[in-house]
């Protein structure tokens, strides 16, 4: 009973991770961003900035997890991802494909999305999986969570 509950928690975290849109952001941000220079950076340069910032944040999370806890970081992360995606969605809804007003807004929205994601939704599901599940179930649970992650990613990519 306790193992089933732990597995459900892990699967919900994995689904939340992928349904937050990370697969689409990682795969398509270079073509989703306006094709204009933003602070001297092309969309490809912006993607490099994203990657470097994500790496820095995920290293900082190692120290933040023990200080603030997993649940607060997951809540802050989820809220940050939602607000960032809402800002990007509103910007794309209000701008026509060839006439961009404030082209830096999606760059900042994706940047803060990535920072928020790496604060919790990115690294913590696998951490929680390793902590909550007993050794005898970790292999099976890892396979199940990988399938759920793949299915959730495929769903989100289809929605994109």
The pLDDT of residue 98 is 66
The pLDDT of residue 14 is 93
Question: pLDDT for 14-68, tens place per residue?
Answer: 999 999 988 888 888 777 877 777 777 888 888 888 889 889 988 998 899 989 9
Tokens at residue 126, please? 């696998």
How far apart (Å, rounded) are the C-alpha atoms in residues 105 and 110? Answer: 9
How far apart (Å, rounded) are the C-alpha atoms in residues 149 and 14? Answer: 6
Question: pLDDT for 53-112, tens place per residue?
Answer: 889 988 998 899 989 999 999 999 999 999 999 999 998 888 776 666 788 888 889 889
- Boundaries of every domain in the chain: 2-159
pTM (predicted TM-score): 0.85
What Rg value do the Cα atoms of the chain yield, rounded? 17
The pLDDT of residue 118 is 92
Question: pLDDT for 140-151, tens place per residue?
Answer: 999 999 999 999
| CATH class of the domain defined by 2-159 | mainly alpha
pLDDT band at 119 (very low <50, low <70, confident <90, very high): very high
How far apart (Å, rounded) are the C-alpha atoms in residues 104 and 25? Answer: 16
How far apart (Å, rounded) are the C-alpha atoms in residues 62 and 45? Answer: 27
Residue 38 DSSP one-character state: B
């Amino acid at each position: 009973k306790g193992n089933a509950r732990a597995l459900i928690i892990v699967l919900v975290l994995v689904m939340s991770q992928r349904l937050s849109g990370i697969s689409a952001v990682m795969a398509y941000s270079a073509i989703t961003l306006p094709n204009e220079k933003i602070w001297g950076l092309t969309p490809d340069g912006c993607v490099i900035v994203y990657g470097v910032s994500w790496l820095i944040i995920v290293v900082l999370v190692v120290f933040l997890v023990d200080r603030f806890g997993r649940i607060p970081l997951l809540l802050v992360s989820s809220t940050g991802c939602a607000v960032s995606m809402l800002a990007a969605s509103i910007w794309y809804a209000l701008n026509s494909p060839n006439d961009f007003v404030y082209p830096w807004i999606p760059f900042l929205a994706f940047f803060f999305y990535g920072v928020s994601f790496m604060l919790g939704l990115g690294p913590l599901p696998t951490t929680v999986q390793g902590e909550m599940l007993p050794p005898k179930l970790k292999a099976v649970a890892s396979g199940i969570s990988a399938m759920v992650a793949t299915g959730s990613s495929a769903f989100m990519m289809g929605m994109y």
